[in-house]
A and B are shown apart, each in its own frame.
Chain A
Amino acid sequence: MITLTVNGMEHSFDGDPEMPLLWYLRDELGLTGTKFGCGIAQCGACTIHLDGYATFACITPISIADGSEVRTIEGLTEKGDHPVQVAWRDLNVSQCGYCQAGQIMQAAALVDSTPDLTDEDIDTVMSANLCRCGTYPRIRAAIKQAAEARTE
């Protein structure tokens, strides 16, 4: 039996321990905010926080999350007011929006963990997350705005 905490709620699972967290979250718990994009850690649409670290849910077997704390986009904040979420809305970052849950989770971890963010930090970390619509310029601008809001 695997037990884990998802967005503050405890769950247990006795199915295939190899099942990636992505499909557990989406199909078993109905938390569809975390997206499927590639299944091989190439696009970042499935980015979640595992014990606070940005993690690709599509290649993380649920067994690895045993005893861990998982946070998804639905549980990032109660009111949707993480500085990254606010900046995303302020700048109309999204186009189709599909990759943005992963982008926001990646960006939130980056902003929360990195003081004095540089463009190079943003390039390095955010290059893990693909956006086919091409929202990168606004993602960069939103991360900078969120980082400023964090330090204020």
Chain B
Amino acid sequence: MSNNPVAVARIANVSRRSILLGLSAGSLVLAVGLPTLSRAQDAPVEFGADAMPNGWRDDPNVFVSIADDGIVTVTVHRSEMGQGVRTSIAMVVADELEAEWDMVRVTQAPGNEPRYGNQDTDGSRSLRHFFDPMRRAGASARTMLEQAAADAWNVPLSEVRAEGHVVRHAGSDRTMSYGKLATAAAALPVPDREGLRLKDPATFRYVGKADIGLVDNDDITRGTTTYGIDVRREGMLYAVIARPPVFGGRVVSVDDSAALQVAGVERVVRLDPPTIPAEFQPLGGIAVIARNTWAAIKGREALVIEWEDGPHAAYSSEDFEAELEAAVQTDDGKLILNRGDVGAALAEASTRIVAEYYIPHLAQAPMEPPAAVADVHDGSCEVWACVQAPQVTRLRLAQRMELPEEDVTVNVTLLGGGFGRKSKPDFVLEAAILSREVGAPVKLTWTREDDLQHSYYHTVSVERLEAGLDAQGKAVAWLHRTAAPTIGSIFAPDPRQKLPFELGMGLTNMPLDIPNVRAENPQAPAHTRIGWYRSVSNIPHAFAIQSFIAELAEATGRDPLEYLLEVIGPARLIDPSEIGDVWNYGESPERYPIDTGRLRKVTETVAEAIGWGRQLPVGSGLGLAAHYSFVSHVAVATEVEVVNGEVHIPRVEIAIDCGAHVNPDRIRSQMEGAVIMGVGQALTTEITFQDGRPQQGNFDSYLIPRMETAPREINVHLVSSGGYDQPLGGVGEPGLPPIAPSIANAIFAATGTRIRRLPVADQLRS
């Protein structure tokens, strides 16, 4: 997820620039920084980690410490939420350090970007942005150990070599252990970046190897890990909050007499509603503070609250779907792409095909709900929290607690899943406000109902696609209208158009080999908090586009694989800014062009693996989808079996080309997990609103896949297109977008029914 909507790497023109500045409205500047807009017009444009707030660091003194006993501790500054970043960053540092893996430990950095560089764990970019800096941190530490040994032996640096946790002098075959050298090495200056010797990737022992155990394996399997919800402090109280059931609502009155009678309940505290835009502010409501979580929950049940629902009291998903459908019928939406002449090409086309797709709100629903412990007293604020953006959390706490940033400490725990929800620190602010109020450490827990009913939801979209085909059935015109509430709506009062970074997620950067392409974005207001959800706007864009391409194949009687490859076109490198995407995930278009050759390759890989073209029994079918996102290329082939209107998925083949590999096992696990999350999106998960209220309250109504509904077989293909001179692509998110369309396309092949509305739910039941 981009946490950085305004840090659009390429500002195409002055008018767009002023729109973005207008949107930022002060709060956003503080939230995520404005690295590319604060620069003079003619300064070089920055990309990647350079363009992120507080950039990157590679100082070995910050990231590596070595104890007398030789134990190497790597400080990981990115949040662990299941992507394996604690293991992967340690692998990179340990490899360059020539450390023995069983001597390596990991510690988690607190929120402090001036010290560690950017910590926003989102956008599938931890390794993309920190592979090189972490290599240098490890290599610098190794060089310092070598220098310390050379000094001790009074020999030139060139005669010593670190390997296997010791430094060896070739001439005399003397060795000194890292533990013995650590103190002397730490006193040496950090070597210059320019002269630093990095390892030949051919000699990597950990990077790119598949057999590395997770650094947290032992703790996880023995139950000794600490997530945000697990933190305990001396004298700690426990809180839950009754929040306004409708976004924008507030408390009119409360009767807390029964709540205060519940054994263990200590206090009832009223919280202010947010100002609009809500950004990361708490939602307000009534907090119950107790001696344990159960008493707090019981106390909350006993509250009698009169709510005023506010301006979104009438929000209904059914009505809003109709509103979005009406919006995409109009031709006065904001023009976002215009190549060739779509109007003329459509008029001349032999065949015109139109389809509309609906993609619902979703909740991230991490298994660990939002939870945090705060201890605010005597002019200091310390929190322990499962946050994806610890520095943003720190800044927001400092602001809310009216404390200098240096008096705010954000300890980052393990995250029991994140998926974008924990990029927003509203729940940490709640804990801090309550701790300040009661003068004791407070653990705030969100129940599952709180999580599903007060999320920062994935948006809701209607995508209308129209194509003109020539006499041979080739697509010559493509018109895409997209309407969806924008994430910008949490940062500005009432924006109604998608931001460039949302459009750059699979719409304006679609590599279509079609001469006439036009895209429009009609208005859509937001009636709830909209936020990043793993892979963000790629979800609706990929679903619509990959479904539509398969529909065109069907309309022309062509093979869907052949048709998909025709629309992708021949192998070529595309500068995304030249086809209409100025963002490109914040990366340089020269370093990270869209590579249709790689997109074709992953597509052909999964097609071959699934046995594309083979005969299947009645009721079974194969479907394909390919999608470029987070500067990685992914394709999926799915086999479905539809029995009595119920969809079973026996097998999924998924291929990713994400450039060089750091931790192949974690690339595989991210693809496996993306497939299963995607199955849920395709078949069952949906948040709907009625009277402004989400209708799903727990896992009995928000249906995420279980063992029995997950595909029995998932095969991951790592298609690498080069060595370590290739830049790294994203891994955490790009697996997800093509899953749902591949399933919908397979359902069509199996049943002849085209799914244009997610989730499938009971659409196939007669």
Contacts and interface: CB of A to CB of B under 8 A. Distances in A.
B238 A27 contact: yes
Contact of A136 (B223, B369, B676, B699): B676
A35 interface: yes
Interface string B703-738: 011111111111000000000000000000000000
Contacts of B710: 134, 136-137
A10 interface: no
Given A32-B230, A38-B699, A16 B263 contact: yes
Interface in A75-98: 76, 80, 85, 88-89, 92, 94-98
Contact of A94 (B216, B698, B699, B707): B216
A36 B445 contact: yes
Contacts of A72: 223
Contacts of A96: 80-82, 366-368, 414-418
B669 interface: yes
Contacts of A134: 672-677, 705, 710
B232 interface: yes
A69 interface: no
A interface secondary structure, majority: loop
B292 A28 contact: yes
B381 interface: no
Contacts of B216: 94, 97
B123 to A, nearest CB: 18
A27 B292 CA distance: 6
A42 B415 CA distance: 21
B214 interface: yes
Contact of A88 (B217, B295, B415, B673): B217
A62 to B, nearest CB: 10
Contact of B218 (A30, A43, A89): A89
Given A23-B292, A97-B82, A138 B417 contact: no
B294 A19 contact: yes
A106 B419 CA distance: 25
Contact of B82 (A26, A42, A133): A133
Given A94-B214, A134-B674, A134-B710, A104 B221 contact: yes
Main secondary structure of the interface of B (DSSP, over half): loop
A131 interface: yes
A132 B366 contact: yes
B84 interface: yes
A35 B217 CA distance: 17
A24 B675 CA distance: 36
A74 interface: yes
B535 to A, nearest CB: 14
B686 to A, nearest CB: 16
Nearest to A36: B229
A85 B219 CA distance: 11
A34 interface: yes
A133 B704 CA distance: 10
Given A16-B294, A39-B448, A97-B416, A74 B673 contact: no
Nearest to B700: A42
B669 A73 contact: no
Interface string A29-50: 0111111111110110100000
A93 to B, nearest CB: 9
A123 B708 CA distance: 5
A24 B294 CA distance: 9
Best-buried of B213, B414, B699 by chain A (most CB within 10 Å): B699
Contacts of A24: 294
Interface in A43-73: 43, 45, 72-73
Chain B: interface size category? 35 or more
A45 B367 contact: yes
A92 B448 CA distance: 27
B665 A92 contact: yes
Given A32-B230, A35-B416, A43 B367 contact: yes
Contacts of A42: 698-700
A22 to B, nearest CB: 8
Q: Which of B213, B416, B676, B711 has the most CB of A within 10 A?
A: B416
A74 B709 CA distance: 30
Nearest to A122: B707
Given A96-B366, A132-B365, A138-B669, A33 B224 contact: yes
B223 A95 contact: no
Nearest to A75: B223
A101 interface: yes
Given A89-B218, A127-B708, A137-B710, A37 B367 contact: yes
B222 A133 contact: no
A124 interface: yes
Contacts of A20: 294
Nearest to A119: B712
B225 interface: yes
B84 A95 contact: yes
Contacts of A26: 230, 293
Nearest to A143: B707
B83 interface: yes
Contacts of B293: 23, 26-27, 36
B615 to A, nearest CB: 26
> Which of B368, B415, B711 has the most A CB atoms < 10 Å from its CB?
B368
A8 interface: no
B27 interface: no
A133 B673 CA distance: 5
A95 to B, nearest CB: 3
B416 A98 contact: yes
Contacts of B232: 30, 32
Contact of A16 (B230, B295, B677, B714): B295
Interface in B278-300: 292-295, 297-298
B403 interface: no
A92 B213 contact: yes
Interface of A: 15-16, 19-20, 23-24, 26-28, 30-40, 42-43, 45, 72-74, 76, 80, 85, 88-89, 92, 94-101, 104, 119, 122-124, 126-127, 129-140
8 contacts: A15-B264, A16-B264, A30-B232, A43-B367, A92-B669, A95-B84, A97-B220, A122-B707
Interface of B: 80-84, 213-214, 216-227, 229-230, 232, 238, 263-264, 292-295, 297-298, 365-369, 414-419, 445, 447-448, 665, 669-670, 672-677, 698-700, 704-714
Given A38-B699, A43-B448, 18 more contacts: A23-B294, A24-B294, A31-B223, A37-B369, A39-B447, A40-B698, A42-B699, A42-B700, A76-B222, A88-B220, A96-B368, A98-B227, A101-B220, A104-B221, A130-B367, A132-B367, A133-B417, A134-B677
Among all A-B residue pairs, the 10 with the closest Cβ atoms: A33-B223, A98-B416, A134-B676, A73-B223, A96-B82, A95-B82, A134-B673, A97-B220, A32-B230, A42-B699
